[in-house]
Amino acid sequence: MDRKKWNVAIGFATGRKNFYRILRSYVLNCFESGLLDNKDVGLNLFVAYDLEYRHTRKADFVSINPEISKLLDSVHFIGKQEMLAEKQNMLKRGILTKTEASVIFRRGYALQRNIILYKAIENHMDCLLFLDDDEYPVALTKSIETDLWGGQRVIQSHLKYIKEADITCGHHCGYISPIPYMEFSRSFPESIFKKFIQALSNDIINWDTICSVMKNGGVTYADKQILLRKEVKTIQESNGAKFISGSNLCINLQNPKRVFPFYNPPGARGEDTFLSTCLTERKVLQIPCYTFHDGFGAYRYMLAGVLPVRMKMIRADSSRVLKRFYAACVGWVRYKPLYIYITDRAHYYSRIDEMTENLEQTLPVICRYFKSDMFMMVLRELKKYDNTIGKQYTQFENNKLIWSRILETL
């Protein structure tokens, strides 16, 4: 690599082959803005792909349109075979034991993000920008008569601020919340749903936020003041974490020793939440750029120029929406015990007891409302992950120690 350049890694941890549409939009945005005329900046693509998620083929991910590839300095694809080869290499070199390899190479979202992080550092990248395959570089704002759209220069915005921070994190709009619009009644009172959400919530997903989003039909609009004033905010620690999101997220790699790995409990998400708990002594900036999250896949033609004038209300009237909400509830309850254990261990057992009681009271009503008994699994998952909390915490701590040792070999 030419060290005179500021080498930017663009990372996708994906299982959707349509991530290329997203990549194309971001790269051409850089071309249109003139960023790529600057010989001091190079774009490099790192893709960790999962063929099992959507039953795809390797060819779905590794064939880049020449129009895009010519604008990139390098391209790196990491599939199951590449991860296995990296694991075997570390075992052979004595960097890891078999037990340690089973921790750091455990299947999940954190592994995909960590292998991208590792490869970016190995290839002397200066920063790594994680993008999601369902987020577009546009901001959605609300007016009286119509919804308004504004293009966002996401990569350029992170480049502007990442040199003075450990992490830069942008904003999100669109369908951020997986919770569909709800209509409350005597048989399904708001108080019941509030107690259910409070049992699963964290500092980002809380009842006040959910209420605001539900009033807008499930849509989160960009803050016009953030867009106009271009204010940069230093994220302060709250309840043991400096909260970030996993996408529209840039990590400064110039000093790899300051970089922490991602972690998620087995079968859970929350890898960005657990990274948040490691950032006490890191400078984290929230910067004024937005991405639009198409969480329900309702606006796949947006990047073809189809911009709606009014956003759809997402109701719980389809199996697809219901499954996404259920999956989110399971994901939340799987990682919340470890989050509490890390940030509020003194009150861990009392808080788990409170969660259990609230779920026992609310889940029967939730099941009747959605006409599905599958939500009772949420309580079972809480008990399962509570019972293995010691093992999860040990893995979380070992994950950081093993990562530090791996970085020493680079």
How many alpha carbons fall within 13 Å on the CB side of residue 115?
A: 30
For every residue of 332-356, DSSP letters joined together read HHHHHHHHHHHH-GGGHHHHHHHHH
Phi-psi region of 124 (alpha: psi -120 to 50; beta: other; left: phi over 0): left
Q: What residues have CB less than 8 Å from 104, skipping those under 6 apart?
A: 96, 111, 114, 261, 399, 402, 403, 406
**For the CA atoms of the chain, what is the radius of gyration?**
21
Q: Could you tell me if residue 1 is inside a domain?
A: no
pTM value is 0.95
- Give the residue among 395, 377, 278, 279 at the shortest CA–CA distance from 334: 377
214-242, pLDDT tens digit by residue? Answer: 888 889 999 999 999 999 999 999 989 99
Assigned token pair, 182: 């709800």
3-state secondary structure of 45: strand
3-state secondary structure of 239: coil
Assigned token pair, 388: 């293995």
How many alpha carbons fall within 13 Å on the CB side of residue 24?
A: 12
Q: What residues have CB less than 8 Å from 269, skipping those under 6 apart?
A: 109, 331, 334, 335
46-98, pLDDT tens digit by residue? Answer: 999 999 888 899 999 998 899 999 999 999 999 999 999 999 999 999 999 99
166 in Cβ contact with 251 (< 8 Å): yes
pLDDT in tens, the chain (410 residues): 445 789 999 999 999 988 999 999 999 999 999 999 988 999 999 999 999 888 899 999 998 899 999 999 999 999 999 999 999 999 999 999 999 998 888 888 899 999 999 999 999 999 999 999 999 999 999 988 899 999 999 999 999 999 999 999 999 999 988 888 888 999 999 999 999 999 998 766 678 778 888 888 889 999 999 999 999 999 999 989 999 999 999 999 999 999 999 999 988 889 999 999 999 999 999 999 999 999 888 888 888 889 999 998 888 888 889 999 999 999 999 999 999 999 999 999 999 999 999 999 999 999 999 999 999 999 999 999 999 999 999 999 999 999 999 999 98
Q: Could you tell me if residue 369 is inside a domain?
A: yes
Q: Could you tell me if residue 36 is inside a domain?
A: yes
Please give the C-alpha separations between residue 186 and each of 191, 196, 214, in angstroms, as whole numbers.
10, 16, 19
Please give the C-alpha separations between residue 116 and each of 40, 120, 173, in angstroms, as whole numbers.
23, 6, 25
How many alpha carbons fall within 13 Å on the CB side of residue 206?
A: 4
CB-based burial label for 83 (10 Å; 0-12, 13-18, 19+):
middle
| H helix intervals, 93-170 | 98-104, 109-122, 154-161
Q: Which domain holds residue 235?
A: 6-408
Q: Could you tell me if residue 263 is inside a domain?
A: yes
263 in Cβ contact with 107 (< 8 Å): no
Q: Could you tell me if residue 46 is inside a domain?
A: yes
381 in Cβ contact with 330 (< 8 Å): yes
DSSP H or E segment with residue 209: helix 207-215
Cβ atoms within 10 Å, residue 367 = 15
For every residue of 282-312, DSSP letters joined together read S-EEEEEEEEEE-TTS--TTGGGT---SSPP
246 in Cβ contact with 132 (< 8 Å): yes
Token look-up 């969480």 returns 295
Q: What is d(CA 80, CA 51) in angstroms, rounded to the nearest whole number?
A: 8
Q: What is d(CA 321, CA 218) in angstroms, rounded to the nearest whole number?
A: 12
Strands 74-78 and 127-130: unpaired
Q: How many domains does the chain have?
A: 1
- What is the biggest distance separating any 2 CA atoms in the chain, rounded to whole angstroms? 66
Kindly provide the residue ranges of all beta strands, DSSP E only, lying in 79-190, ordered along the sequence: 127-130, 135-136, 138-142, 147-151, 167-174
CB-based burial label for 55 (10 Å; 0-12, 13-18, 19+):
exposed
Name the DSSP class of 168: E
Q: What residues have CB less than 8 Å from 88, skipping those under 6 apart?
A: none
